[in-house]
């Protein structure tokens, strides 16, 4: 078995399309963009406008303008450097349609967070498959993909809370108080959308203090202790819902964040400088049951509180 990396490289750039809500009138375009996309301040958006990177209703802009509401906005983003990624994996199951792989830590599944072509979606193009769901960039393990659209649609329905599939992970966390060997702890707190200075809004745990919440989703996780060491707990985490960052959020809600998680912190806190795509945590998609399939993939070599090698791959199999 070979492992490999795709080196950092410039992509071809991308054109983003947006529409100003009709209710959001009498706002300067650069300010509107900065409030909507907090990764860039108004000054940078103004610079992009002056450089001719933006159109408004099909007309190239050279100066900022006051919005009346309802405008169509286009931004031609210049090529940017995408980081290196692991680009090889172990195939667990392939019947010509359904393709299940052991995704290595460090590989983004879909475009986003600065990645456009350095993604699993792009790497799968030669075999005609597309991901059915999205594992976090630094989550390793079972990733389901399919070649036929009807198969992807059926599996996507299976991944919904009412879909009756079972997903099991292994996770290294800070010690979970009250969880002893042989016992199961169920977490059913909501995943909520909270404000974040870099991204505007982000999914997280229920805050300890009064804070604006835009949306909430029900979620359920079952925790079972597999190993306890001086450095942390290794857990079996079973989820029947698949909310954004659910395991990371539920463990932070308990006061036991994933070891090395830069975003979800103690006391239900969220880092103001990290984003969901930042790595360091230890989480592995271990088992899947559903649609007549039972699949398993052991954690990568070195899955421990100390080492998380993004390129480590294990020989995996079907139970």
| SS3 readout for the chain | CCCCEECCEECCCEEEEEECCCCCCCCEHHHHHHHHCCCCCHHHHHHHHHCCCEEECCEECCCCCECCCCCEEEEEECCCEECCEECCCEEEEECCCEEEEEECCCCCCCCECCECCCCHHHHCHHHCCEECCCCCCCCEEEEEEECCHHHHHHHHHHCCCCCCCEEEEEEEECCCCCCCCCCEEEECCCEEEEEECCCEEEEECCCCCCCCEEEEECCCEEEEEEEEECCEEEEEEEECCCCCCHHHHHHHHHCCCECCCCCECHHHCECCCCCCCCCCCCEEEEEEEECCEEEECCCCCCCCCCCCCCCCCCCCEEC
Q: Do β-strands 54-56 and 72-77 pair in parallel, antiparallel, or remain unpaired? A: antiparallel
Q: Is there a single domain that holds both residue 143 and residue 61?
A: no
Q: Is there a single domain that holds both residue 48 and residue 122?
A: no
Q: How many domains does the chain have?
A: 2
Q: Is there a single domain that holds both residue 239 and residue 270?
A: yes
Residues 6+ apart with CB under 8 A from 126: none
Note whether 156 and 162 are within 8 A (CB).
no
Q: Is residue 306 part of a domain?
A: yes
Q: Is residue 48 part of a domain?
A: yes
How far is residue 132's CA from residue 45's CA, in Å, rounded to a whole number?
35
Q: In this structure, how many other beta carbons lie within 10 angstroms of the beta carbon of residue 266?
A: 10
How far is residue 94's CA from residue 125's CA, in Å, rounded to a whole number?
15
Q: Is there a single domain that holds both residue 70 and residue 88?
A: no
User: Of 53, 81, 109, at which residue does a domain stop?
Assistant: 81
**221 phi/psi in degrees, rounded to 5:** -130, 140
β-bridge mates for residue 191, sequence order: 217
Query: For the domain that residue 301 is a member of, what is the CATH number?
Result: 3.30.2350.10
Q: Is there a single domain that holds both residue 48 and residue 176?
A: no
pLDDT at 8: 96
Q: Is there a single domain that holds both residue 66 and residue 132?
A: no
Q: Is there a single domain that holds both residue 129 and residue 274?
A: yes
Q: Is there a single domain that holds both residue 31 and residue 163?
A: no
Q: Is there a single domain that holds both residue 107 and residue 140?
A: yes
pLDDT at 306: 62
User: Of 44, 60, 81, at which residue does a domain stop?
Assistant: 81
Q: Is there a single domain that holds both residue 29 and residue 172?
A: no
Average pLDDT per block of 10 residues along the chain, 319 residues long: 79 96 94 90 96 97 96 96 96 97 96 94 97 96 98 92 90 94 92 92 93 93 95 94 94 96 95 93 95 92 66 32
Q: Is residue 6 part of a domain?
A: no
Residues 6+ apart with CB under 8 A from 209: none
β-bridge mates for residue 167, sequence order: 239, 288
Q: List the domain range (segments joined by +) for residue 66.
A: 12-81
Q: Is residue 22 part of a domain?
A: yes
């Amino acid at each position: 078995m070979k492992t490999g990396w795709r080196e950092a490289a410039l992509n071809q750039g991308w054109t983003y399309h947006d529409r100003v809500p009709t209710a959001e009138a009498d706002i300067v375009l650069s300010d509107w963009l900065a409030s909507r996309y907090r990764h860039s301040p108004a000054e940078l958006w103004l610079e992009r406008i002056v450089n001719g990177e933006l159109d408004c209703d099909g007309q190239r802009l050279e100066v900022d303008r006051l919005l009346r509401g309802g405008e169509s906005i286009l931004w031609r983003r210049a090529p940017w450097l995408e980081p290196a990624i692991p680009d090889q994996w172990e195939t667990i199951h392939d019947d010509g349609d359904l393709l299940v792989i052991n995704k290595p830590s460090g590989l983004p599944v879909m475009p986003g967070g600065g990645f456009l072509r350095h993604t699993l979606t792009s790497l799968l193009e030669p075999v005609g498959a597309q991901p059915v769901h999205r594992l976090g960039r630094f989550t390793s393990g079972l990733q389901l993909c399919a070649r036929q659209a009807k198969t992807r649609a059926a599996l996507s329905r299976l991944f919904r809370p009412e879909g009756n599939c079972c997903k099991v992970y292994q996770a290294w966390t800070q010690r979970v108080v009250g969880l002893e060997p042989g016992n199961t702890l169920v977490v059913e707190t909501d995943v909520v959308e909270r404000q974040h200075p870099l991204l505007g809004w982000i999914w997280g745990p229920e805050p300890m203090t009064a804070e604006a919440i835009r949306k909430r989703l029900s979620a359920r996780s079952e925790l079972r202790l597999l190993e306890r060491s001086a450095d942390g707990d290794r857990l079996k985490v079973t989820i029947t819902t698949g909310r954004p960052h659910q395991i990371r959020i539920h463990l932070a809600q308990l006061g036991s964040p994933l070891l090395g998680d830069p975003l979800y912190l103690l006391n239900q806190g969220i880092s103001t400088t990290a984003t969901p795509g930042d790595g360091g945590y230890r989480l592995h998609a271990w088992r899947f049951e559903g649609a007549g399939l039972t699949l398993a993939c052991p954690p990568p070599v070195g899955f421990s509180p100390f080492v998380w090698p993004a390129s480590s791959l294990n020989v995996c199999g079907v139970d």
